[in-house]
Structures are given as C-alpha cells and as structure tokens.
C-alpha cells in the first residue's frame, strides 16, 4: 500500500526473496489481476450452471474447474514474477519452442470440438490450446531478437523476428484462427514501433495485413461467414451476437439483478467468449466499466514503469506483453457489443478456460517480473559500456 501512495521503494541488497519481491513488484497490477480473477469466478457462478445442467454436471462444475485452473495460474503468476529477466527469457524460449511444436502438430492430432477450427488437443480430462501459451513466449523471443539487433555487431534481429512472426501467423491461419494471428501481429507491431521502426514500414505492413485479410475472405468460408455476419446491418436475434447485444441492451446502467439474467440460458459460450454479456445484463454498465478500468490500470501502470526502463529487451518484451493482454480484452468486449467481427477469443482471467487463464497468468507473471523496481544505474555508464 505504501508503494501505491508514495511510489516504488528502492531494492536493498541482501534481502530475502519474498520481502524483496513484495517491495519491488507492481502492487497495483497484481491487485487488479486478482480482482479480475475474482470477478471471473463471480460471473462464472451466474453464467455456467445452465451449461452444466445441459451436460449433466453439478451446477457449479465449471466454476470449480475454473477455480482449480485459476489457482494454478495465480501460483504460476507469482512464481514467474519473482524471476530475474534473464531467467524469464530462458524459460520463455523453451516454452515458445514447445508451444510452436504443439502448434505445428494440430493439423494431425488436434480437434475442433465441433467449432470449425482445429485449435485444441483433447486430453480427455481437459483440452489444451497451444496458441494461448505461444503468445507470451513469442513476445519474449521477438523482443530478444529486436534487442540483440541494437548491439554493436549484433544479428539482424528485427528481420528474424518478422520472419518468425509470419511463420506463426501462417500456422494460425491454417487452423483457422485469425483472431490469434491478428493478436500476434499486433504484439510484434507494438514492439517494432517501440524499437524505432520507420512509420513507412509499419504502413506497408498494415497494407500487407489488409491484403491478407482480403485473401482470407476469398478463400476461407469460416472467415467470410464471420465478416459477412459483422457487416450485415440486421442482426439475427437467434445468433450468439444477437443474444449478446440484446443482453447488454437489457442490462442498462445497473443490470436486471443477480441471477435474473436470461442470456446465459441461450448462449452456448456464455461462460467463455461472451461472459461480458452476462456481466452487462445482470450487473449493468457499472460492472463493465469496472472491468475495463481494471484492464486499463494493468496496461497503463505497466507501460509507465517500462518508460523508466533502460534495458531495451525488458522495455520491448514488457510493452508487448502489456499490449496483448489489453488488446485481447478489448477484442473480446468489442465482439460482444458488435464493434468487431466474432473472433472466438477469451477475456483474460474472467472467461472460463484452463489454457486461457494459465497462459494469462504466465504472461502477466512475466510482465510483473519485467516491471519490478530495479537499480537502473546512470545513463552515462550505459553509454560508456556500449561504446567499448
């Protein structure tokens, strides 16, 4: 609480791990993430019982599973946030390689669970979505490449990172999962911008993305169907978007009351992709604004702390992680209010899903590790080291 009022306290050498971690970690971000997870459990109590009854489970089956996976996610988040940036980078590289291999194996061993996109491995007791775990590892690896390119005699890391990004986007598009592909491209674009990319290059890449979207629209029925549904001025009230937009409209400012919402009985994904519609209907605009505020604090606080960071790798990786968490939340809520086409993307820490919540815990754990208060040294010392 002291840090929240008076700012970060400098690191004191020789401290035990836990006191040093508590003194240097961003408590605002940590508190907001815990609040988001708590809101997710609360909304799960409202949204998941109809689906549990339909599938023959106990009323709070999905809430219990979310609490279990969420507990793992919070433990991983705290453990990761205690690591040094170097250790985070090393483990992220290993995690990225494992996730990328799993992503390549999806066409042969994956399943679509009847949703038209092969994104998961069925483990019997649960499912695994490699793309969720790929994102934080990719951000760290791409930031490492970009930071290495700034060293004297360093490799062309920006080019390597671009090639890696295009390969990943290609594999994601094959599923098809254009939402995650767009998120990966966005994360890379943010880091490339922070690294000092020329604006003309970013404009050219935006044009390339537009061309890729047009190509996907012409050749992918799955993609074209979602775009057509988004562009259609008349929303079918019996579709998921129709139910979600009606629920948000009915909720108004204060909501219809706890347990009084009806959208959870109609939406098959009420506890995952469209959980914000349940929040808007039962708790109203107040709850939605609270959720948006929590995500905003996580992103803004992290970027503010990263502005003081002089290590280019930490600055790039932290910026990428903060932005993909915030943009994923924005995409999920934008879909629910029909500002964006349907993406099939979860709301971090709130939507039901083991892969989603654990991967989000890893991403924010890395972000907290990068934004911890640490001695920066004098800028002259850094310039002197580079000149040697």
Please say whether the beta carbons of 315 and 194 come within 8 A: yes
Q: How far, in Å, CA of 216 to CA of 218, rounded?
A: 5
DSSP line for 314-339: HHHHHHHHHHHHHHHHHHHHHHHTTS
Q: Strands, DSSP E only, in 268-345?
A: none
The closest alpha carbon to 369, from 7, 24, 109, 19, belongs to: 24
Model pLDDT, residue 323 = 95
pTM over 0.85: yes
Please say whether the beta carbons of 139 and 320 come within 8 A: yes
The closest alpha carbon to 288, from 246, 253, 243, belongs to: 253
Model pLDDT, residue 5 = 47
- For the CA atoms of 114, 115, 121, 127, the dihedral, rounded to the nearest 10 degrees, stands at -90
Is the four-CA dihedral 54, 55, 59, 63 of positive or negative sign?
negative
The set of residues, in sequence order, having a beta carbon less than 8 Å from that of 383 and lying 6+ positions away, is none
Q: How far, in Å, CA of 335 to CA of 333, rounded?
A: 5
The set of residues, in sequence order, having a beta carbon less than 8 Å from that of 317 and lying 6+ positions away, is 85, 89, 139, 140, 143, 144, 191, 366, 370
Model pLDDT, residue 379 = 43
- Cis ω before 313 (30° cut-off from 0): no
Model pLDDT, residue 232 = 67
Place of tokens 């994360």: 187
For 159-211, what is the HEC assignment?
A: HHHHHHHHHHHHHHHHCCCHHHHHHHHHHHHHHHHHCCCCHHHHHHHHHHHHH
Model pLDDT, residue 188 = 93
Model pLDDT, residue 14 = 57
Q: What is the pLDDT along the chain (388 residues), one digit of tens a residue?
A: 444 444 544 545 556 888 889 999 999 999 999 999 999 999 998 888 888 888 888 988 899 999 999 999 999 999 999 999 999 999 999 999 999 999 999 988 888 877 777 888 988 778 899 999 999 999 999 999 999 988 878 888 899 999 999 999 999 988 888 889 989 999 999 999 898 877 777 777 778 777 777 777 777 676 677 676 666 666 656 677 777 888 888 888 888 887 778 888 877 777 888 899 899 999 999 999 999 999 999 999 999 999 988 899 999 999 999 999 999 999 999 888 888 877 778 999 999 988 999 999 999 999 999 999 877 644 444 444 555 5
231: burial class by Cβ within 10 Å (0-12, 13-18, 19+)? exposed
Q: Where are the alpha helices (DSSP H) in 195-274?
A: 199-219, 221-231, 240-251
CA distances from 354 to 68, 261, 304 (A): 9, 25, 30
Model pLDDT, residue 253 = 87
Q: How far, in Å, CA of 149 to CA of 146, rounded?
A: 5
The set of residues, in sequence order, having a beta carbon less than 8 Å from that of 211 and lying 6+ positions away, is none
45: its two tokens: 């109590």
329: its two tokens: 């939340």
Q: How far, in Å, CA of 357 to CA of 74, rounded?
A: 9
Please say whether the beta carbons of 32 and 371 come within 8 A: no
Q: What count of other Cβ atoms lies within 10 Å of the Cβ of residue 17? A: 8
């Amino acid at each position: 609480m002291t840090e929240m009022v008076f700012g970060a306290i400098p690191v004191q050498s020789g401290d035990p791990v836990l006191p040093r971690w508590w003194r240097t970690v961003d408590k605002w971000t940590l508190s907001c993430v815990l609040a988001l997870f708590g809101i997710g459990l609360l909304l799960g109590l409202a949204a998941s019982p109809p689906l549990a009854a339909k599938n023959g489970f106990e009323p709070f089956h999905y809430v219990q599973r979310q609490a279990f996976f969420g507990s793992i996610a919070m433990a991983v988040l705290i453990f990761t946030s205690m690591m040094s940036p170097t250790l985070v980078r090393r483990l992220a590289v290993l995690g990225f390689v494992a996730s990328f291999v799993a992503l390549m194996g999806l066409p042969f061993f994956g399943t679509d669970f009847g949703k038209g996109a092969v994104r998961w491995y069925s483990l019997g007791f649960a499912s695994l979505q490699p793309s969720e775990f790929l994102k934080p590892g990719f951000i760290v690896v791409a930031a490492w490449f970009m930071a290495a390119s700034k060293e004297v005699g360093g490799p062309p890391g920006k080019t390597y990172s671009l090639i890696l990004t295009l390969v990943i986007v290609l594999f994601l598009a094959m599923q098809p999962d254009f939402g995650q592909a767009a998120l990966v491209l966005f994360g890379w674009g943010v880091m490339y911008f922070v690294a000092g990319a020329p604006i003309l290059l970013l404009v050219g890449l935006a044009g390339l993305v537009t061309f890729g979207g047009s190509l996907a629209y012409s050749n992918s029925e799955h993609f074209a169907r979602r775009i057509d549904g988004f562009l259609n001025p008349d929303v079918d009230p019996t579709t998921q978007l129709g139910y979600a937009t009606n629920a948000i409209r009915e909720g108004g400012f204060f909501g219809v009351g706890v347990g009084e919402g009806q959208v959870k009985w109609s939406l098959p994904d009420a506890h995952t992709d469209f959980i914000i519609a349940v929040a808007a209907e039962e708790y109203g605009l107040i709850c939605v604004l609270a959720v948006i505020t929590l995500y905003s604090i996580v992103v803004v606080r992290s970027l503010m702390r990263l502005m003081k960071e002089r290590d280019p790798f930490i600055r790039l990786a932290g910026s990428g992680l903060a932005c993909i968490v915030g943009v994923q939340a924005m995409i999920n809520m934008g879909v629910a209010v029909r500002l964006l086409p349907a993406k099939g993307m979860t709301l971090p820490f709130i939507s039901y899903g083991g892969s989603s919540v654990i991967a989000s815990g890893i991403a924010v754990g890395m972000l907290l590790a990068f934004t911890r208060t640490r001695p920066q040294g004098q800028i002259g010392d850094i310039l002197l080291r580079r000149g040697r």
